[in-house]
Structure 1
Amino acid sequence: MAASLSLMLLVLAACSSNGNNGVSSESASPVAGASSTPSSSPEASEPEAGPKKEISISAFDRGLVPTEEGNYEDNRWTKWINENSPATVKWIPVDRGQAQQKLSTLIASGSAPDLIWEYDRNYIAQLANQGAIQPIDAYIEKYSTTLKKYLQDHPELKPAMTINGKMYAVTSKRSIETIANNGMWIRQDWLDKLQLKAPTTIEELIEVAKKFKDEDPDGNGEDDTVPIVFNGNAVQVMRAFFFTNEYQWYLEDGQLKYGRTLDRYKDALAFHKSLFDQDLIDKEYITDSNFQRARQLWTTGKAGIYFANWSMDNEIRDLKTNVPTAKLAPLESVASQYGKNGLYQELASNVLIAFNSDMPEDKIETAVKFLDWMLETGWYSMKFGEKDVHYKLVNDEVPQRLDADKYRAEVAYANEYAILSQWDTKAEWIPLMAAQDELSQEIALSKAEALTVALKNEYRRDIAFSPDLPEVSQLIATFAPISTQIEVKVVTGGKSMTPEAGMEQIRNEWKRLGGENVEKLAQEWYEKNKEFLTVSSE
């Protein structure tokens, strides 16, 4: 069981690691607002005359493509991209939970795609330091129009793209609904039935969870409810209560310290352990690597609290279909002894798109022109579908979904291909954008409230991104699985390993692997670069 949980926590860590640039889990809902609405229906763009060069691009496989639509390599939208863009694109899917491992394997074998993207800036920096990707400043200047101007207009994105003084990736600005990432949901009808209030502290959260476990909130007379379930964001949600994240660096009295070595991290482990020991989380999550069991428990009405994303369209819709009387409420972050931290939030930059170092210049030119096209017009259809089929415009700027089920089946997965976007939203647009049937409007109103709740409290992030030194990346790559194994023993081992003993082992491993020297290098890096490390989502 410990080995299985170790693998599970590695998957959770991969989902929660973002190197201060976001993994995230990223919101799947295409709720946003364009600075200018491009011509966006699939028939609107004209392909360039003559043969087009082929480029390959990575894509996260989230298992969202319905069988009748095809797969991530071949579906209606990959065909549309090839018909309308200046390139023929071969998409290379990598499993979302193991994306970095898969990409690294492809790179090592010489079969990596031409364009490689990730949310994790640390990973992109690692590839740069390994020589797997190449600087692209000169190519953007030489071949780009739209993207070049866009980056000039958004200088706040430059630090995320710059590694060792050179541009190694391009990105676009996140919309507000993707700045917000994590979310917690609670069954309001269960609270009402048991005459409970929404928890505001970790102690109250535990007490509510106990009531959900013991007092039959679904009223079926059986002991079959699970207080808390979660998706891949669970680690971020729980750690944030204690103002820490295992993959972030923090300024402690002016000194950079790694999140996994802090006293606060011990308290985060103790909280996780208490949930496990008291059966307040589903213990079968150990083998639930794709979180389908957790999702099933939630959508069938057996779970009371969901550590997940603020935007949960499908999960809410399926729950309401199965349990029409269910009432949901977004749950604000709860306070620990350190105060109230915000739920995890991303920085301004979205995915970071890097160029394989093996790409010849003619392919690079094609890739740059493809990115120009995607940023200028292509992204819109990837997010909203075909005009008058999947959406209509309201107030000349807000795309309103026509049929939620049709969008879910035919468009939702295409978000994966919109690697650059100019969309930005307002919370009040969410009900306008949703389909107008009663259920879709109920979900939209819940989401609008959830977005406000997710951004209500500031999330602690002391520096904009982590040190991009090879020594740091190498140490963390070695340290992460070792510390995860220790954390498994703490969480599942009962009295065999206390959080205090676990932290002692974690710190000993950090020191053994050269952590003290890496901290010194990281501090030197910080002093040299601090003017570029201001946290901003503007």
Structure 2
Amino acid sequence: MLNKKHRIGVMFAIVIAAAVVLATGCTFFEDKEFSGSASGNKTAKNEITVSIYDRGIIPASEGSYADNRWTNWINRNGPVNVKFIPIMRSESRQNLMKLFASGSAPDIINEYNTAIRNSLYEQNQLLPLDNVLKFMPEYEKLITQYPQLKNAGTKSDGKLYEIGKLNEANPLHAFFIRTDWLKKLGLEVPKTQEEFFQVAKAFTELDPDGDGKDDTYGTNLSYYSENALNEMFGDSSSITQFSWGIKDGKIVRLWENELASLTFKKSLYDNHIIDKNYMYDSSGSKAKQDFLNGKIGIYINPSVNWTEFTLSDLAILKKNVPGAEIAPLAYPKTSMGEFTGAINNPIQMTTVINANTKNPEAAAQYIDFMMKPKTSVTFLGDEGVHWTKNPNGCPSVLDPYKQKYEVSYNVDYQMFVTGINQKCGYIINKFNPEVPEQKTALDIYKSAQKLYLDPSRQSRLDGGRIYACISEQSECDTNGSAQGNKRSLCQSDHQRQ
């Protein structure tokens, strides 16, 4: 019996020793492989889910919106593990409602559409943020400096629900016309609705690209480009279901404006001036590809990223069509008057947290991490590969192709990040005028500012004159007025789509 007990004791000791060794070994390998904290003590990261727009523009070589170089960097370096939930930009309302109805909505919802966020609030689907602000010191600091952000994110119950950012008030929708086609066909820049139609018709029928084929379109009408075309007539029906405005001090339905824009769009369709299959181009990617291939004469850009468009997109157009020349086109005068287009919202709410999230602290930590200046610099790409410093000391695109295919699609991951709290956040400082292509891009942007930030024109929503506070660098309140001695054109009705 003694020997048996002895054997049992020895075996028990061996098991304990093995367990200790195994546990030590696991700890060693875990620390070695996954270490990254300053103390060397690594704990498992919390997990959250985050919605991200699927705009259909990510190259296959980069992966998907859920899994690419940027999502991988976030998960390697961030405080939490993130599963990104791609949502088609053109169907975000439907997709989000389905996710909430099924109980599988993301922890963090990034959504530009104010009506969608308001609807979620009314359904008690959103988490009040007052108690988690302490886990977002970057945002807490920002709303202390700019209380307008806190005011805009606070709902009727007096609690903070929405996270937002400050934007430069720049043109959001823009028309670009092929000036080389105008010269070739002996046409003038269209200034009225009738001239727009005739020029677009000529671009469609007179073979402006000279290839002997019937393969050009006068303009495009898909995705949000329809909104911009509606704006010519002071009509906002594509954005808000119905078009409303102020007349004689009263809020009224703009029936005449809606009818005028609808009639004009039908004439474009009936005369084959637009692609008849435009309704299937839900992301606008086909229209953009047609433009880049030199097949559209008046390109309606529904959400202009000014550096990407004037550098990367135009570089592709020039490569495909070496003689192509473009210029911004002011909204033509219509039967409803002279209007300007959407202006990027200077105070813009973008992000909310699901009321049913299991770990609000983790969600807040992710938002704080994405707002850190170091993260924003990383999302510019690699210095010397994607960008270099220009004479202003600001990052400028170095390789338009690498920028477009490896960097540009990452913008929505930082949807809630303010970029204009320093000079390099302003578009005008992102160009290097010593580089010919960037000098051209800068000139296009300045021309667009002059055309679209025109205080003499009406805005499409207020029925009156657009707010007149003009310049490049400003801090604007939610009423569109400038603070201090700086001035800017600020129009809080519109936001980036």
* 2:428 is equivalent to residue 428 of structure 1: yes
Residue equivalent to 1:283? 276
The answer to whether the 8 Å contact 1:317/1:443 transfers is no
Q: Residue 378 and residue 121 in structure 1: after superposition, are their counterparts in 2 closer, same or farther (change >3 A)?
A: farther
Residue equivalent to 1:340? 338
**SS in structure 2 of the partner of residue 279 of structure 1:** coil
The answer to whether the 8 Å contact 1:121/1:160 transfers is no
Higher relative contact order (CA 8 A, sep 6+): 1
Displacement of 1:46: 7.1
Q: Mark the structure with the bigger radius of gyration.
A: 2
Cα shift readout 1:229-288 (whole Å, capped 9, x = no counterpart) = 2442222112111112011542233332345xx322111111112222222222121333
Residue equivalent to 1:476? none
AA paired with 1:355? I
Q: Residue 394 and residue 224 in structure 1: after superposition, are their counterparts in 2 closer, same or farther (change >3 A)?
A: closer
The answer to whether the 8 Å contact 1:427/1:448 transfers is no
AA paired with 1:50? T
In the TM superposition, what are the counterparts of 1:154-165 in structure 2 within 5 Å?
154-164=146-156, 165=158
In the TM superposition, what are the counterparts of 1:303-452 in structure 2 within 5 Å?
303-309=296-302, 310=304, 311=306, 312-313=309-310, 314-360=312-358, 363-377=359-373, 379-381=375-377, 383-395=379-391, 397-424=393-420, 425-432=425-432, 436=435, 442-443=440-441, 445-452=443-450
In the TM superposition, what are the counterparts of 1:254-273 in structure 2 within 5 Å?
254-259=249-254, 262-273=255-266
Q: Residue 52 and residue 385 in structure 1: after superposition, are their counterparts in 2 closer, same or farther (change >3 A)?
A: same
Q: Residue 225 and residue 410 in structure 1: after superposition, are their counterparts in 2 closer, same or farther (change >3 A)?
A: closer
Residue equivalent to 1:209? 200
Q: Which structure: greater helix fraction?
A: 1
**SS in structure 2 of the partner of residue 224 of structure 1:** coil
The answer to whether the 8 Å contact 2:318/2:324 transfers is yes
Task: State the distance in 2 between where 1:427 and 1:59 align.
Answer: 24
Cα shift readout 1:266-318 (whole Å, capped 9, x = no counterpart) = 11111112222222222121333333432333222222111114443554232
The answer to whether the 8 Å contact 1:383/1:412 transfers is no
Displacement of 1:88: 1.7
In the TM superposition, what are the counterparts of 1:69-88 in structure 2 within 5 Å?
69-88=62-81
Determine which of 121, 140, 153 is the counterpart of 1:148: 140
The answer to whether the 8 Å contact 2:341/2:452 transfers is yes
Task: State the distance in 1 between where 2:38 and 2:220 align.
Answer: 47
Q: Residue 416 and residue 335 in structure 1: after superposition, are their counterparts in 2 closer, same or farther (change >3 A)?
A: same
Displacement of 1:325: 0.7
Task: State the distance in 2 between where 1:426 and 1:257 align.
Answer: 36
- State how many pairs are aligned: 417
Task: State the distance in 1 between where 2:387 and 2:417 align.
Answer: 18
Determine which of 230, 233, 237 is the counterpart of 1:239: 230
Q: Residue 352 and residue 46 in structure 1: after superposition, are their counterparts in 2 closer, same or farther (change >3 A)?
A: farther
Task: State the distance in 1 between where 2:176 and 2:37 align.
Answer: 44
Structure 1 window deviating more from structure 2 (105-114 vs 333-342): it is 333-342
**SS in structure 2 of the partner of residue 411 of structure 1:** helix
* 2:126 is equivalent to residue 130 of structure 1: no
Any gaps of 5 or more consecutive residues in structure 1?
1-44, 464-531
Structure 1 window deviating more from structure 2 (180-189 vs 205-214): it is 205-214
Displacement of 1:194: 1.8
AA paired with 1:207? Q
Any gaps of 5 or more consecutive residues in structure 2?
1-35, 464-476, 482-489, 492-497
Structure 1 window deviating more from structure 2 (364-373 vs 318-327): it is 364-373
Displacement of 1:369: 2.5
- Give TM-score, length-normalised by structure 2: 0.76
Task: State the distance in 1 between where 2:192 and 2:37 align.
Answer: 56
Determine which of 205, 220, 226 is the counterpart of 2:211: 220
- Give TM-score, length-normalised by structure 1: 0.71
AA paired with 1:59? I
**SS in structure 2 of the partner of residue 307 of structure 1:** strand
Displacement of 1:442: 4.2
AA paired with 1:163? K
* 2:190 is equivalent to residue 199 of structure 1: yes
Residue equivalent to 1:60? 53
AA paired with 2:418? Q
Structure 1 window deviating more from structure 2 (323-332 vs 349-358): it is 349-358
AA paired with 2:322? P
* 2:247 is equivalent to residue 252 of structure 1: yes
Cα shift readout 1:424-444 (whole Å, capped 9, x = no counterpart) = 34453243299x4x5565445
Task: State the distance in 2 between where 1:117 and 1:427 align.
Answer: 23
* Identity across matched positions, percent: 31
Displacement of 1:160: 3.4
Q: Which runs of 4+ in 1 moved over 6 A?
A: 45-48
Displacement of 1:175: 2.8
Q: What RMSD over aligned residues (CA atoms) do the two structures have, in Å?
A: 2.8
Q: Residue 255 and residue 208 in structure 1: after superposition, are their counterparts in 2 closer, same or farther (change >3 A)?
A: same
The answer to whether the 8 Å contact 1:58/1:113 transfers is yes
Displacement of 1:393: 2.5
Structure 1 window deviating more from structure 2 (340-349 vs 381-390): it is 381-390
